[in-house]
Amino acid sequence: MSPRSLETERKYDLPEQAAPDIEALRSAVGADAVRQEEHRLLADYLDTEDGRLARRLRTLRRREGGHDEGWHLKLPADGGRTEVTAPLSDTLPEELRAEVAGIVRGRELRPVARLLTRRRSTYLLVDDQVLVEVSDDTVAGTETGTGVTRLWREWEVELGPAAPDDPKRRQSLLDALEEALDAAGAKPASSASKLARALGRDTLAEPVPVLDDGSALSVVLSILRRSVDALLTADAALRTGDAEGAHRMRVSVRRLSAALAGFRGVVDRREADALRQRLKRIARRIAPLREADVRRAQAERALASVPLDTEVQQRVRDEAGRTALLAPVLEWLDSEEYFALLDELEHFVERPPLGPDATAKARAALKRGLKKAVRKAARRVDAAKDDLTRHEARKALRRVRYLAEALRTQEVLGKKATALADAAESAQDAVGDHRDSAAFRESLAGIPDLPPTAAAALDAGEEEREREALDRWKAARKRFRKAAADW
């Protein structure tokens, strides 16, 4: 996986002759030293013809010059942006191509702008480590398609490696610097993106029309947009070797499916159900890989208490089996079928087919959908007597959890929804842990040359975990019944 870091910065416009007061900047953040450098930076920005990366608030550039020349991909993140880097090369590195493949979907990435920047950087240091970098940038940005060149000057303030990790302290540091810059005449920049400015825009992406009228549709669209973003982020994680990539992708699909099912009256039921069926293709494709990841995690836990030689441990973990499962998944993620499904999903969110409750007040309409899911889950929990019926209960509990969490995040519902989601999650996890242990026990018989004593020890450990999971299920079932009674 390529190196990545959190980038936290602010940009400022300034009068033509303005100059920062270096001593004021140093004093504002308590730096004990200052270092200054000057660089010439040449950056080419890439995107598709229809601006797919920009619409998803991603920027991809190849930059020459400066201490961090190379390829840079910037992604949305809490508290700033995640910057993924790769060494300078003539062609786009494959690891960065994989990061954006789910967004680009086979379309050509081409230059959209070239920026030539003269940067005068002031580094504010603590114990010889960079706390903050304040850059005075003079920029010439040329839009590739039109040849139009735009000139501007801005100050860019970016936190360095020595900045605190705590988000509040990071913002306080930036606030302190802003006071010093304001005294020099700086004002928040009209655009937070150099690329946007080069393209003659205020923002990187054209604003998406967002309903904010308290309707059920406005809330459901917000939930669906967040879920689509999560799916595309999980897509990149799976492609780039994240061990949790398959899990994150499956969870994203399930959250989407839960929203489409739980809020059928807000969007057209028939079209929502049809899309849910097509989303199951993603779940089916990655299911074997996710199950292999679960078995590997089970194996790691079990092997901690059963001494085995290295070769046998590798067979228990089944690394080769997982590798064999990964290749066809990655191949399918580059297929026309998968790309068409993502296009359809985005189109559904951008132009939703309306249901009869679309304009209803959000709280009343969406609470009805959650109540219906709660009643279904309660019936299945009461009927859960064996592995099969517990699994059906688990699926219903999962839907309740995802719906309740979504409505709580959107501030449609309050603490009762949080309690309901927590209770559903506890019961869901207990059944899942029981199921995973049972599956691992079954897999032991297929491991070649596993010593009988080791097999017996591994089996006994998992049998104990099965019993413990069932005990947790009994307690979690009572807790969920209590929480469900409030609905």
Q: How far apart are CA 219 and CA 274, in angstroms?
A: 21
Q: How far apart are CA 42 and CA 306, in angstroms?
A: 57
Q: How far apart are CA 296 and CA 442, in angstroms?
A: 14
For residue 208, the model assigns a pLDDT of 63
For the chain, the domains span 4-198, 216-485
Contacts of 297 (CB under 8 A, 6+ apart): none
pTM over 0.85: yes
- Give the residue from 323, 305, 332 showing the smallest Cα distance to 459: 305
For residue 212, the model assigns a pLDDT of 66
Q: What value does the mean pLDDT take over residues 427-434?
A: 96
457 close to 418: Cβ distance less than 8 angstroms: no
For residue 147, the model assigns a pLDDT of 96
Q: Which two tokens stand for residue 299?
A: 């194996």
For residue 323, the model assigns a pLDDT of 82
Architecture in CATH for domain 4-198:
Beta Barrel (2.40)
Query: Each residue of 72-118: pLDDT tens digit?
Result: 999 999 888 999 999 999 999 999 999 999 999 999 999 999 999 99
Q: How far apart are CA 117 and CA 136, in angstroms?
A: 10
pLDDT-based confidence at 210, cuts 50/70/90? low
- What are the strands of the beta sheet with 59-64, ordered from one edge? 4-7, 80-86, 70-77, 59-64, 33-47, 110-126, 129-143, 149-159, 9-13, 187-188
Q: What value does the mean pLDDT take over residues 158-183?
A: 93
74 close to 43: Cβ distance less than 8 angstroms: no
> Angle, nearest 10°, between helix axes 245-262 and 216-239?
160
Q: How far apart are CA 397 and CA 394, in angstroms?
A: 5
Residue 268 has pLDDT above 90, yes or no: yes
Backbone angles phi, psi at 65, to 5 degrees: 100, 155
320 close to 311: Cβ distance less than 8 angstroms: no
Query: Each residue of 456-483: pLDDT tens digit?
Result: 988 998 899 999 999 999 999 999 999 9
Residues paired with 36 in a beta bridge: 122
Pairing of the two strands 80-86 and 70-77: antiparallel
42 close to 63: Cβ distance less than 8 angstroms: yes
Query: Each residue of 312-345: pLDDT tens digit?
Result: 787 787 766 788 899 999 999 999 999 999 999 9
Residue 307 has pLDDT above 80, yes or no: no
**Mean pLDDT across the chain:** 92
Q: Give the right CATH number for 216-485 from 2.60.40.10, 1.40.20.10, 3.40.50.300, 3.40.50.10540.
A: 1.40.20.10
For residue 209, the model assigns a pLDDT of 61
